[in-house]
C-alpha cells in the first residue's frame, strides 16, 4: 500500500509537470511554425500515463484495503478478547462488561484508523511535497525555497494547533461518554423511574449533562474555527507568494509560460491537500489516544497467570487440603487467617454460617478465582497455584447461587457443561434437574432464548439449568453455593434424589442456608468470621448444643412444617 499510495500521489503531483510540457510544446510549435502534434506527442503520452497511473495505483491500494482492513480489525479484536479472557475475577469486578466491550471495538477501530491516517493522509502528503520541491528546484531555486519555508512553518504551526485543540477535544469526548453513561444508567433503572413516577425528573436530570456536552462541543468547534482562519490565510499567502514570485521570475525571462503554469497549479494542489492538515493531526492524536487508553485498560499484566508449562491437574481421589491459608480481598480486612482444612476423597461437606462469614470465598479460592496471600491449597497433593487453571476448573463443577446464562438457547446453555453431549444427554440431564418440565412449557422449548444473563427465567429455573449443566459436566469435585436457595421446598425435595445421585463418588462441598438441606452430609463445618467454630455431622452438632443446634432450632421454628417433611424423607 505504501508503494501504491506513493505512486498515486506522485502521479497526481506530476500532472502540473505534464501540463507544463504541453504548454511549452505548444509555445515552441508556435514559435517555430512547425506542425504541433509531433512536438506535443511525448507530453501527451506523459499526461495520459499519469492519469492512468492515478486510476490504477489508487484502485490497487483500494483492493488491498478491502482485503486487509476488515481482517486487521478482526485480528485486533480477537487478540484483545483473548487477552481479556485471562484476567482474574477481581479485574472483572472492577471493570464493567459494557465498557470493556466498547473499549475492544473502539481500540480495534482506532488501530485501523490510525494506520489508515498515516497511510492515506500523511504518507501521500510527504510524497507530494517532496515531488513538488524537486519540480520547483528544477525550475528555479528561489521558488522552491519559498515553498520549502512555507511548508516548514505551516506543518509546525498545524501540529502545535492540533496539540492545543486536543485538550478541548478530550473534554468534549469525556462529556459525550458521560452523557451516554447517564443514559445507560437511566435506561437500566427505567423500572425505578416508572415505579416512582420520575420520568420528568429523569429527563431534567439528563438535560444538565446534555448542556455540559453542548458547551464543550462549542468550545472545541470555536477553536477549530480559529484554526481554519489560520489555514485559509496561510493558503492565501502561499498562493500570492508562489504566483507573485513566479510572475517576477517570468517577467525577467528566466522562466517559460509552461513553468509558470506548473508552479501555479502545484501550489493549488498542495493547498488543497494541506488545508486539512490540522484536522488530520487532531484525528491521528485521537486515534492514538484511544489505542493508548484501550491498551492501558486491557493489556495490563494478568493478575493470576499460569506459570510457563504448568502441568495439568491429575485427579485420582479428589482429596482437598487447605494448609494455613490466609486471604483478604482488601488489605487489612482478612477473611481467612491460617485456615486449615482437610477434606477426604469422597467426603460430603456442608458449610453453614452467617452471610459474610467467608463460605463463598472458600469456594472462590478453590477455583483459584482469587489467590491466597499465604498458605497452600492442595488437591490430591498438587498445589493448585502450580497447575494450569483450565485443568483445575475442568475438574470442578460449581453451581453458584445466582447462575448466569448466556443469551443463547436453553439447549446450548445446558450443553455448556459438556460441549460434545448429544441432545438426548442434554435432555436427560434436564430431566434429572427437574428443568425439563418448565423448559417444555416455554414457547420454543429447548430452543428458547433466555434474555441477557437469563433474565427471562426465574431464579429457581436458572438454578435448575445450572444443575443440569453440572450433571452433564460430571466433574470429580462438586461445589454448590446455595444452589437450591431459590427453589421452593417441594421442588428442592424432588431434586434431592438427583443431587444425591450426582454426589456419588465425588468430593462435595455444599453451602446452604436451609439447614435441612445439609442433614445428610458426612460433616458440617460451621463458619464464623472466616474460622471454623464447630464441625461434625448433623446429629453430633445437634447433640453438642452449640451454634448449629441453635440455628437449627430457630429455622425449625420458622419453617416447622417445611423442614419436618424434608427431614422425614431423608431419615427414612
Ligand X SMILES: Nc1ncnc2c1ncn2[C@@H]1O[C@H](COP(=O)(O)OP(=O)(O)O)[C@@H](O)[C@H]1O
Sites of contact with ligand X (CB under 6 A): 93, 329-330, 335, 353, 355-361
Q: Among Mg ion, ligand X, none, what does residue 101 contact (CB within 5–8 Å per kind)?
A: none
Residue 330 beta carbon to Mg ion: minimum distance, rounded to whole angstroms: 17
Q: Which pairing describes strands 334-343 and 507-511: parallel, antiparallel, or unpaired?
A: unpaired
From the CB of 358, what's the least distance to ligand X, in Å?
Answer: 4
The nearer residue to Mg ion, 278 or 485, going by C-beta atoms, is: 485
| Complete edge-to-edge strand list for the sheet that includes strand 507-511 | 396-399, 477-481, 507-511, 348-353, 523-528, 531-536
Indicate whether 395 belongs to the interface with Mg ion (CB under 5 A): no
Q: At what angle do helices 277-298 and 141-188 cross, to 10 degrees?
A: 50
Quick one: what does residue 406 bind among ligand X, Mg ion, none, with the CB cut-off 5 to 8 Å set by partner type? none
Least distance in Å: CB of 357 to Mg ion? 9
Q: What DSSP line would sit under 68-84, residue for residue? A: HHHHHHHHHHHHHHHHH
Q: What is the three-class DSSP state of 417?
A: coil
Q: With respect to ligand X, which residue has the nearer C-beta, 335 or 398?
A: 335
Residue whose CB is less far from Mg ion, 468 or 512: 512
Looking at the chain, how many residues does it have?
Answer: 572
User: CB-wise, 63 or 93, nearer to ligand X?
Assistant: 93
Q: Is 158 in the site for Mg ion (CB under 5 A)?
A: no
Q: How many CB atoms lie within 10 A of CB 525?
A: 23
Q: Does 484 bind Mg ion (CB under 5 A)?
A: no
221 contacts which partner out of Mg ion, ligand X, none, CB within 5 to 8 A by kind? none
Q: Minimum CB separation from Mg ion for residue 481, in Å?
A: 6
Nearer to ligand X, 93 or 187 (CB): 93
CB of 356 to ligand X, least distance (A): 4
Residue 204, all three cell numbers: 431534567
Residue 358 interacts with which of Mg ion, ligand X, none, CB < 5 to 8 Å by class: ligand X
Task: Return d(Cα 286, Cα 110) in angstroms, integer.
Answer: 8
Write out the DSSP string of 159-189: HHHHHHHHHHHHHHHHHHHHHHHHHHHHHHT
Return the one option of Mg ion, ligand X, none that residue 93 interacts with (CB less than 5 to 8 A, by type): ligand X
Q: Which residue number, 360 or 461, has a Cβ lying nearer to Mg ion? A: 360
Closer of 44 and 367 to ligand X (Cβ): 367
The residues pairing with 507 across neighbouring beta strands, listed in sequence order, are 477
Q: Nearest distance from residue 290's CB to Mg ion, in Å?
A: 39
Considering CB distances under 5 to 8 angstroms, the limit depending on partner class, which of Mg ion, ligand X, none binds residue 335?
A: ligand X
**Three cell numbers at 171?**
473534554
Q: Binding residues for Mg ion, how many (CB under 5 A)?
A: 1
Helix-then-strand count for the chain, H and E: 20, 10
Find cell 511548508 and name the residue. 151
Nearer Cβ to Mg ion (360/507) = 360
Torsion (CA) 451, 457, 461, 466 in degrees, nearest 10: 20
Between 351 and 471, whose beta carbon lies closer to Mg ion?
351
Shortest CB 512 distance to Mg ion, Å? 11
Comparing CB distances to ligand X, the nearer of 211 and 303 is 303
Q: 250 in helix, strand or coil? A: helix
Q: Which does 361 bind (CB under 5 to 8 A by kind): Mg ion, ligand X, none?
A: ligand X
Shortest reach from residue 323's CB to Mg ion, in Å = 23
CB of residue 400 to Mg ion, shortest distance in Å: 9
- The whole-angstrom separation of Cα 202 and Cα 207 is 9
Q: Which is nearer to Mg ion, 128 or 360 (CB)?
A: 360
Q: Give all strands (DSSP E) within 329-420, no chain letters.
A: 334-343, 348-353, 374-379, 382-383, 396-399
The three-state secondary structure class of 202 is helix
Interface stretch with Mg ion, choices 314-322, 355-363, 407-415, 515-523 (CB under 5 A): 355-363
> Residue 33 binds what, of Mg ion, ligand X, none (CB under 5 to 8 Å, by partner type)?
none
Q: Which does 19 bind (CB under 5 to 8 A by kind): ligand X, Mg ion, none?
A: none
State the Cα–Cα distance between residues 507 and 345, nearest whole angstrom: 6
Instruction: Considering only the stretches 98-106, 190-198, 313-321, 357-365, report the one whose residues sit in contact with Mg ion under the rule CB under 5 A.
Output: 357-365
258 binds, options Mg ion, ligand X, none, Cβ within 5 to 8 A by partner type:
none
User: Considering only residues 8, 107, 132, 360, which one is a binding residue for Mg ion as defined by CB under 5 A?
Assistant: 360
Contacted entry of Mg ion, ligand X, none for residue 329, CB cut-off 5 to 8 Å set by kind: ligand X
Q: Are 259 and 19 in contact (CB under 8 A)?
A: no
- Sheet of 334-343: strand order equals 334-343, 320-328, 374-379, 382-383
**Residue pointed to by grid coordinates 507544463:** 20
How would you write 468-522 as a 3-class SS string? HHHHHHCCCEEEEECCCCCCCHHHHHHHHHHHHHHHCCCEEEEECCCHHHHCCCC
Question: In angstroms, what is the minimal distance from the CB of 514 to ligand X?
Answer: 14
Q: Which is nearer to ligand X, 154 or 322 (CB)?
A: 322
Work out what residue 476 binds among Mg ion, ligand X, none; the CB cut-off runs from 5 to 8 Å by kind. none
Spell out a b/e string for 161-197, using b for 16 or more CB atoms within 10 Å of the CB, else e: bbeebbebbebbeebeeeeeebeeebeeeeeebeeee
**CA dist., res. 6 & res. 122, Å (int):** 11
Binding of Mg ion by 364 (CB under 5 A): no
Rounded least distance, CB 397 to ligand X, Å: 18
Which region among 6-14, 39-47, 353-361, 541-549 touches Mg ion (by CB under 5 A)?
353-361
Distance CA 566, CA 171 (A): 62
Name the binder of 152 from Mg ion, ligand X, none, CB < 5-8 A by kind: none
CB of 57 or CB of 527, closer to ligand X: 527
Residues that bind Mg ion (CB under 5 A): 360
Amino acid at each position: 500500500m505504501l508503494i501504491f499510495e506513493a505512486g498515486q500521489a506522485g502521479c497526481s503531483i506530476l500532472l502540473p509537470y505534464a501540463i507544463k510540457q504541453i504548454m511549452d510544446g505548444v509555445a515552441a510549435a508556435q514559435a517555430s511554425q512547425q506542425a504541433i502534434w509531433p512536438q506535443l506527442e511525448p507530453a501527451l503520452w506523459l499526461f495520459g500515463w499519469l492519469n492512468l497511473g492515478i486510476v490504477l495505483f489508487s484502485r490497487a491500494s483500494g483492493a488491498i484495503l478491502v482485503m486487509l482492513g476488515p481482517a486487521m480489525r478482526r485480528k485486533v479484536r480477537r487478540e484483545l478478547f483473548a487477552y481479556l479472557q485471562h484476567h482474574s475475577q477481581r479485574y472483572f469486578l472492577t471493570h464493567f462488561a459494557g465498557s470493556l466491550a466498547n473499549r475492544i471495538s473502539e481500540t480495534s477501530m482506532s488501530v485501523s484508523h490510525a494506520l489508515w491516517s498515516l497511510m492515506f493522509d500523511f504518507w501521500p502528503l510527504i510524497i507530494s511535497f517532496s515531488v513538488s520541491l524537486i519540480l520547483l528546484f528544477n525550475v528555479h531555486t528561489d521558488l522552491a525555497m519559498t515553498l520549502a519555508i512555507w511548508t516548514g512553518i505551516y506543518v509546525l504551526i498545524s501540529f502545535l494547533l492540533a496539540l492545543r485543540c486536543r485538550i478541548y477535544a478530550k473534554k468534549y469526548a469525556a462529556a459525550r461518554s458521560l452523557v451516554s453513561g447517564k443514559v445507560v444508567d437511566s435506561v437500566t433503572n427505567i423500572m425505578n423511574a416508572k415505579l416512582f413516577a420520575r420520568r420528568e425528573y429523569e429527563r431534567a436530570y439528563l438535560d444538565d449533562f446534555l448542556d455540559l456536552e453542548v458547551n464543550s462541543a462549542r468550545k472545541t468547534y470555536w477553536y477549530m474555527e480559529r484554526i481554519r482562519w489560520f489555514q485559509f490565510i496561510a493558503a492565501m499567502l502561499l498562493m500570492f507568494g508562489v504566483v507573485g514570485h513566479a510572475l517576477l521570475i517570468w517577467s525577467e525571462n528566466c522562466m517559460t509560460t509552461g513553468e509558470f503554469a506548473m508552479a501555479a497549479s502545484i501550489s493549488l494542489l498542495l493547498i488543497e491537500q494541506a488545508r486539512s492538515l490540522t484536522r488530520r493531526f487532531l484525528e491521528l492524536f485521537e486515534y492514538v489516544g484511544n489505542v493508548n487508553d484501550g491498551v492501558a485498560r486491557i493489556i495490563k499484566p494478568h493478575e493470576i497467570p499460569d506459570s510457563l508449562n504448568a502441568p495439568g491437574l491429575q485427579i485420582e481421589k479428589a482429596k482437598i487440603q487447605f494448609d494455613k491459608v490466609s486471604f483478604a480481598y482488601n488489605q487489612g480486612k482478612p477473611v481467612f487467617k491460617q485456615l486449615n482444612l482437610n477434606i477426604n476423597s469422597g467426603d460430603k461437606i456442608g458449610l453453614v454460617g452467617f452471610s459474610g462469614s467467608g463460605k463463598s470465598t472458600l469456594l472462590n479460592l478453590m477455583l483459584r478465582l482469587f489467590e491466597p496471600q499465604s498458605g497452600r491449597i492442595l488437591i490430591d497433593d498438587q498445589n493448585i497455584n502450580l497447575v494450569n487453571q483450565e485443568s483445575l476448573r475442568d475438574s470442578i463443577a460449581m453451581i453458584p447461587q445466582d447462575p448466569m446464562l448466556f443469551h443463547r438457547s436453553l439447549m446450548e446453555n445446558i450443553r455448556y457443561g459438556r460441549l460434545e453431549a448429544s441432545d438426548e444427554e442434554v435432555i436427560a440431564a434436564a430431566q434429572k434437574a427437574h428443568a425439563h418440565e418448565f423448559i417444555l412449557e416455554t414457547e420454543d422449548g429447548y430452543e428458547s432464548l433466555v434474555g441477557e444473563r437469563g433474565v427471562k427465567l426465574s431464579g429457581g429455573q436458572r438454578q435448575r439449568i445450572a444443575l443440569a449443566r453440572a450433571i452433564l459436566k460430571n466433574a470429580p469435585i462438586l461445589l454448590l453455593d446455595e444452589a437450591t436457595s431459590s427453589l421452593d421446598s417441594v421442588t428442592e425435595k424432588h431434586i434431592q434424589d438427583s443431587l444425591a445421585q450426582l454426589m456419588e463418588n465425588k468430593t462435595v462441598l455444599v453451602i446452604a442456608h436451609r439447614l435441612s438441606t445439609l442433614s445428610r452430609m458426612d460433616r458440617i463445618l460451621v463458619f464464623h468470621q472466616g474460622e471454623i467454630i464447630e464441625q461434625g455431622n448433623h446429629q453430633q452438632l445437634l447433640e453438642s448444643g452449640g451454634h448449629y443446634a441453635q440455628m437449627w432450632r430457630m429455622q425449625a421454628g420458622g419453617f416447622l412444617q417445611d423442614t419436618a417433611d424434608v427431614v422425614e424423607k431423608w431419615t427414612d
